[in-house]
């Protein structure tokens, strides 16, 4: 009887010690695929640790990233993980604390992929978090898991006018059709595409013009990936051939290299992709401004 009592009391203590802290966490179901950027975004993950009830307790955050079949592909290296002291009030941790990449161990292709790209492969995952003692890694809080889906976001690709395309001034002075691919994957809410066109002045490179000139066109398009720009004279290229000029008919057969100096105008255009709130979409690209790789087009009518 005494043994049974001791055993029951031990189990009770064990249960008590395991449950000394309670945790809860919220996580975005579709966080950015660039796991390296999670730390910047508090909305991705928040872990709440309840206050300790009058006891001195230290703990480490144990995190595991699993595939939907339960295979662990990444976990915290507990030996190197930071040690925290339980506070008397609620404590909130974010992605940088819960998934400290410098202390995470990933396996196989996930490790390689993360090193190369800062992203995990597109798939369904589970993030499981618990708190453990720093000494023997025994749990001090129940494990909590959340599922999430990662999909690498791909900004639009400019389709028309294609890069370095030469447009016939007779048409381009009236209307120019712009087309681009949609953002992939399709977002839950419709995205806002901002189409910008800048003139490249004689002494400028295309990138210089893109970064410094006021857009001749800056308009927002929702729900479609084509825009017909009624130019209304702002391009006004090469209206009349001068005597001695050779008229290239049609200009489509010309390449930028065959255009004589002064017989054409050069433009750079791009799409900036924004979410419903006007924030730039992007997935860890250098600029983080949702701007697709710009393309150049020429407007010309004749060469010398």
Partner 1 sequence: MRKKNQSLVLLMLLSTMASAQTTAPKIKVSGTMGVNYEGYGLNRNPAGWTGFSQRKPWNQVRFNFQPTITTPKWSLPFNFNFATTPTNAFGPFANIGKQNIGQYISNPMNNFAVNPTYKWAEIQLGTQYLNYSNLSTGDIGIFGAGVDLKPGKFRVKFFKGISQQGINFFSGGPNGSYKRKNWMAQLGVEREGKYELSFNFAKGKDDVNSITSPPPGLKAQEGFTLSMVTKINFTKGWYMNVEGAQSLYTKDLAQPLTNLIKSFKPFLEARSSTVKDYAGEGMIGRKSKDFDIGLKVKYLGAGFQTVGYPFLQPDRIDYTVNTRFNAFKNKTNVTASIGQRVNNVSNTSLRAKQFIGNLNWFSQIDDHWSVNINYNNFGFQSNSGINPYGIKNVSNDLGINPTYTWSNEKMIHLLSLSYNYSKYDERDVLTGLITSNNTHTALLTYVPTYLQKDMTPDFTVMYFLNKLPGFKTTLLTLSSGLSMPAAKKKLQLRGQLQYTFSKNNSFTGNNNFIASCSIDCKMNKKLTWTNYLATNYFKYGNEIIPNGANYLESNFRTGLQYRFGK
Task: Tell which one of 56, 88, 89, 240 touches partner 1 (CB under 8 A).
Answer: 240
- With binding defined as CB under 8 A, does residue 277 bind partner 1? no
Segment lying near partner 1 (by CB under 8 A), choices 13-21, 46-54, 66-74, 148-156: 148-156
Which CB atom, from 19 or from 250, has the smaller least distance to partner 1? 250
Which residue from 123, 142, 164, 275 is in contact with partner 1, where contact means CB under 8 A? 123
Residue 147 interacting with partner 1 (CB under 8 A): no
Alpha-carbon 44 to chain mean position? 12
Task: Kindly state the number of chain residues that form the binding site for partner 1, as judged by CB under 8 A.
Answer: 90
Rounded CA separation 53/110 (Å): 40
Window contacting partner 1 (CB under 8 A); options: 64-72, 127-135, 138-146, 222-230: 222-230
Among 23, 73, 129, 291, binds partner 1 (CB under 8 A): 291
- Integer distance in angstroms from the first to the last C-alpha of the chain? 109
Nearest-approach distance from CB 244 to partner 1, in angstroms: 10
Grouping H, G, I as helix, E, B as strand and the rest as coil, residue 278 is: coil
* C-alpha to C-alpha distance for 97 and 82, rounded to whole angstroms: 8
Chain positions 181 to 210 lying near partner 1, rule: CB under 8 A, are: 181-182, 184-186, 196, 198, 201, 203-205, 207-208, 210
Q: Does 78 contact partner 1 by CB under 8 A? A: no
Q: Is 155 in the site for partner 1 (CB under 8 A)?
A: yes
**Shortest Cβ 57–partner 1 spacing (Å):** 25
Closest contact distance (angstroms) between CB of 26 and partner 1 is 21
Stretch that binds partner 1, among 6-14, 56-64, 132-140, 287-295 (CB under 8 A): 287-295
CB of 72 to partner 1, least distance (A): 17
CB of 215 to partner 1, least distance (A): 5
DSSP state of 251: G
Q: Does 218 bind partner 1 (CB under 8 A)?
A: yes
Query: Least distance (Å) from partner 1 to the CB of residue 134?
Result: 19
* Interaction pattern, residues 101-120, with partner 1; x per rule: CB under 8 A: xx-xx-------x-xxxxx-
Q: By three-state DSSP, how is residue 72 classified?
A: strand
CA atoms 209, 213, 219, 220: torsion sign: positive
Residue 67 within binding range of partner 1, rule CB under 8 A: no
Sign of the Cα torsion 217, 220, 226, 227 reads: negative
Quote the strand ranges of the chain, DSSP E. Answer: 23-27, 45-49, 58-67, 72-76, 83-85, 91-94, 104-106, 123-132, 139-150, 158-160, 165-168, 175-180, 192-200, 217-222, 226-230, 246-247, 264-274, 295-300, 302-303
Residue 266 binds to partner 1 (criterion: CB under 8 A): no
Q: Given 3-state DSSP classes, what are the helix, strand and coil percentages for the chain, each rounded to the nearest 5?
A: 20, 40, 45
- Token pair for 54: 């009058």
Closest contact distance (angstroms) between CB of 74 and partner 1 is: 11
* Residue keyed to tokens 């009391």: 9
Residue 37 or 91 having the CB closest to partner 1 = 37
- Please report whether residue 56 would count as binding partner 1 according to CB under 8 A: no
Q: How many CB atoms lie within 10 A of CB 235?
A: 21
Measured on CA atoms in the order 221, 223, 226, 228, is the torsion positive or negative? negative
């Amino acid at each position: 009887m005494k043994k049974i009592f001791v055993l029951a009391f031990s189990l009770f203590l064990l249960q008590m010690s395991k449950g000394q802290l309670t945790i809860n966490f919220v996580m975005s179901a579709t966080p950015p695929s660039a796991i390296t950027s999670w730390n910047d975004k508090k909305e991705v993950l928040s872990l709440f640790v309840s206050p300790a009830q009058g006891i001195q307790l230290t703990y480490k955050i144990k995190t595991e990233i699993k595939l939907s079949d339960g295979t662990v592909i990444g976990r915290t290296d507990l030996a190197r993980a930071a040690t925290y002291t339980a506070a008397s009030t609620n404590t909130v941790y974010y992605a940088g604390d819960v998934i400290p990449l410098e202390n995470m161990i990933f396996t196989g292709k996930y490790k390689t992929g993360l090193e190369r790209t800062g992203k995990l492969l597109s798939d369904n995952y589970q993030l499981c978090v618990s708190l453990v003692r720093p000494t023997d890694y025994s749990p001090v809080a129940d494990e909590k898991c959340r599922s999430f889906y990662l999909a690498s976001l791909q900004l639009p690709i400019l389709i028309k006018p294609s890069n370095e395309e030469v447009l016939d001034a007779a048409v381009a002075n009236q209307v120019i059709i712009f087309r681009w691919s949609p953002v992939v994957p399709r977002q839950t809410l419709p995205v806002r595409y901002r189409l910008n066109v800048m003139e490249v002045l004689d002494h400028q490179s295309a990138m210089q013009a893109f970064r410094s000139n006021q857009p001749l066109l800056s308009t927002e398009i929702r729900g479609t990936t084509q825009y017909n720009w009624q130019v209304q004279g702002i391009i006004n290229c090469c209206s009349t051939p001068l005597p001695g000029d050779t008229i290239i008919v049609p200009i489509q057969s010309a390449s930028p290299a065959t255009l004589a100096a002064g017989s054409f105008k050069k433009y750079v255009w791009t799409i900036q992709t924004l979410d419903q709130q006007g924030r730039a979409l992007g997935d860890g690209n250098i600029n983080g401004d949702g701007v697709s790789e710009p393309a150049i087009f020429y407007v010309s009518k004749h060469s010398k």
